[in-house]
A = this chain, B = another copy of it.
Amino acid sequence: MKYDFTFHNPTKIYFGRDAIKNLDAELSGFGECVLLVYGRAAIKKIGLYDEVIASLKRCGKRIVELEGIKSNPTYRQVLEGARLVRENSVDLILAVGGGSVIDCAKAISASAYCEGDPWQKYWVDFAPLDNKTVPVASILTMAGTASEMNGGSVITNEEKMIKEGRVFPQEVYPKFSILNPEYTFSVPKIQMVSGIFDIMSHIMEQYFSGDDDNVSDYILEALMKSLVRSAAVAVENPTDYEARSNIVWCATMALNKITGVSKQQDWQVHGIEHQIGAYTDCPHGIGLAVVSVPYYRYICRHGLHKFVRFAKNVWEIDTEGKTDEQIAEEGISALADFIASLGIPTTLRELGATEEMLPKIACSIPSEKGGYKPLTNDEIYEILKACF
């Protein structure tokens, strides 16, 4: 085991029903011009848009707006935001929405003062961030990506048909994030369960790697157990505050990097889904759910000890008289049952993929090296067929 890492996460989290009350004080720490980035209808419906505008006005801010950010935010929108930042000398980018909106805000921050083509530099060459950035902050309305407390920024380049993520350093992390679980109550059920499975996948893709037995493995199991329990409550009663709070906090914890320290990490399922998303524009978590069961069945024998542990510690599978293979398979079946309990589609076909797309998708996916079985493109194609 390596057990060798740097951890640094300076984002300030305000969590709770009244968390928005901290907005005025936080805004006072930034300059005059604020770029407000958001989707559209959702934050207006719950009154959050009006509340944020009122706070910005109270604080004497000049407001520039970039609305209509899509659930897979596009590079075109990033460039549009970057132009607004430069033209208005924006001092703070305030993202109000889900992970897509926050990812987009971070991309704008990194791109606004980038010389040359930001896409090439940051999402193709993965160059270090070396230009001036603009502070980002967020008000979260959907649990899933943990973008509210990390440097991740997944952007879809529509022209190139590539959805690519990168992790920016601490300068681009939200300076503060406001998390009120009540904002997530009105998210449509498909988005809620998509977010829940996105969280589950983040946890699993850190967990299913390495032969070590370190603190992170135990914490990842804890997050899975809490998430599964709260998901069941939230599916029945979407306005259960405790359950939605647990889901929001599980989401943040699952990818604020503290659970991944010292873990090798896999991320192949995310790699596959990103390309499914680029071709079908499906909700991210739904794409992950479709891929996960066939993927984990395929790699299971290469990391059998961990799948046995997963079955026992997360799903409390009774192991008596069973082989390791049987125990592992029961764990994966329990995962499949969990997906079914969320009412998530289980085939690529249902997400709008066509049979002709599959080889193209398979060829566009890079093989990740951190999991139990690095895949060839042929193997990815086999898995995609199993998902179809």
Determine the distance from Cα of A5 to Cα of B15 in the docked complex, in whole angstroms. 5
Q: Are A226 and B214 in contact (CB-based, < 8 A)? A: yes
A253 at the interface (CB under 8 A from B): yes
Q: Are B215 and A253 in contact (CB-based, < 8 A)? A: yes
Q: Are A249 and B261 in contact (CB-based, < 8 A)? A: yes
A-B contacts, 11 listed (Cβ < 8 Å): A1-B241, A3-B249, A5-B13, A6-B12, A7-B12, A8-B13, A10-B10, A214-B245, A215-B222, A221-B222, A253-B258
Q: Are B246 and A215 in contact (CB-based, < 8 A)? A: yes
A242 at the interface (CB under 8 A from B): yes
Residues of B within 8 A of A262 (CB): 15, 245, 249
Q: Are B213 and A229 in contact (CB-based, < 8 A)? A: yes
Beyond the given A3-B241, A6-B15, A213-B242, please list 15 additional residue pairs across the A-B interface where CB-CB is below 8 A. Answer: A2-B16, A3-B249, A4-B18, A5-B13, A6-B13, A8-B10, A9-B9, A212-B242, A215-B223, A217-B226, A218-B225, A219-B222, A219-B223, A222-B222, A249-B261
Measured CB to CB, the closest approach of chain B to A150, in angstroms, equals 14
A181 at the interface (CB under 8 A from B): yes
Chain A residues bordering chain B, tally (CB within 8 A): 44
A14 at the interface (CB under 8 A from B): yes
A252-270 interface code vs B (CB 8 A; 1 in, 0 out):
0100001001100000000
Determine the distance from Cα of A200 to Cα of B226 in the docked complex, in whole angstroms. 21
A70 at the interface (CB under 8 A from B): no
A250 at the interface (CB under 8 A from B): yes
Q: Are B261 and A1 in contact (CB-based, < 8 A)? A: no
Q: Are B1 and A17 in contact (CB-based, < 8 A)? A: no
Residues of B within 8 A of A19 (CB): 4
Residues of B within 8 A of A258 (CB): 253, 258
Q: Are B8 and A15 in contact (CB-based, < 8 A)? A: no
A203-232 interface code vs B (CB 8 A; 1 in, 0 out):
000000000111101110111011001000
The 7 lowest CB-CB distance pairs between A and B, nearest first, are A4-B16, A218-B222, A222-B222, A8-B12, A10-B10, A3-B245, A218-B226
A55-87 interface code vs B (CB 8 A; 1 in, 0 out):
000000000000000000000000000000000
Residues of B within 8 A of A17 (CB): 4
Which A residues, 255 to 294, have Cβ-Cβ distances below 8 Å to chain B? Answer: 258, 261-262
